[in-house]
Amino acid sequence: MAEYRDSSGKRLDDYPQPSVAVDTAVLTVADGALAVLLVRAGDSDDEWRLPGSFLHAGETLRGAVLRSLRAKAGIDGLRPRQLHVFDEPGRDDRGWVLSVAHVDVVRVDRLPASEVHLLAPVDDLPDLKYDHRDIVAFAVDALRAEYLSSPDPAGLLEAPFTMRQLRLAHEAVSGEALMPDTFRRAMLPQLRATGELLIEGRGRPAELFERA
């Protein structure tokens, strides 16, 4: 088989080749606020980054993401999806590196707690390596757009739940207060009442719902 050359007579190896990395924004709600999972950047005590890795030879992007989450963050069983390619030539001080960013959203009880992990509120991030702050912002914008019209599409709440619990989850994601009546009218057509009530304290029993 003849060696491939393009219309300019060049082989693939004649072109400069960037390194390819994967970085994942794992988002959750912790203490009533949207947060992202960070890992320590090397031996630094005050610099953090998203869990990620370089793509290995013969490896798929998904395989690299799952491997990096397992090795860097101690998490298995996630279902990250591709978010965006960050390709600014100077984004990484180690060289020419493209990052295929991914995002996943999970309940906080699925995330590790240790000295090398940090759940940082997305509106109060520490110093991050490379352009990871931009990756977090992109992931947050995408998630907030999904929560504008659908009831907890990422499944942060376990059904059944009350309308108030659902609204508080949406407020945590959006980062702002929502009008209870307006929120109820928007969400109610997409919910199914279970016929059960939740009784908490002396307040009025609250109706329980699940996603339709």
- Tokens matching residue 194: 């279970």
pLDDT at 131 over 80: yes
What's the confidence (pLDDT) of residue 9? Answer: 84
Instruction: Please write the tens of the pLDDT for every residue from 51-73.
Output: 999 999 999 999 999 999 999 88
Instruction: Please write the tens of the pLDDT for every residue from 191-206.
Output: 999 988 887 767 788 8
pLDDT at 45 over 80: no
Query: What b-and-e string marks burial along 116-141, b requiring 16 or more CB atoms within 10 Å of the CB?
Result: ebbbbebeebeebbbbbebbbebbbe
Asked if residue 75 lies in contact with residue 23, where contact means CB atoms within 8 angstroms, the answer is no
Instruction: Please write the tens of the pLDDT for every residue from 74-114.
Output: 888 889 999 999 999 989 888 999 999 999 999 998 887 77
What 197-200 contacts at long range (C-beta under 8 Å, 24+ apart), as own/partner pairs, is: 198/162
Q: In which band, very low, low, confident or very high, does the pLDDT at 42 lie, cut at 50, 70 and 90?
A: confident
What's the confidence (pLDDT) of residue 5? Answer: 87
How far, in Å, CA of 120 to CA of 117, rounded? 9
Instruction: Please write the tens of the pLDDT for every residue from 5-39.
Output: 888 888 888 788 899 999 999 999 999 999 999 99
User: Count of CB atoms within 10 A of residue 26's CB?
Assistant: 24
Query: What average pLDDT does the segment 184-188 reach?
Result: 96
CA angle in degrees (0–180, nearest 5) for 58-61-65: 115
- Tokens matching residue 72: 């860097």
What's the confidence (pLDDT) of residue 177? Answer: 96
**In sequence order, which residues have a C-beta less than 8 Å from that of residue 154 and are 6 or more positions away?**
27, 105, 143, 146, 147
How far, in Å, CA of 193 to CA of 212, rounded? 9
pLDDT at 44 over 70: no
How far, in Å, CA of 170 to CA of 29, rounded? 10
138 or 42: whose pLDDT is higher?
138
CA angle in degrees (0–180, nearest 5) for 17-18-21: 140
What's the confidence (pLDDT) of residue 142? Answer: 97
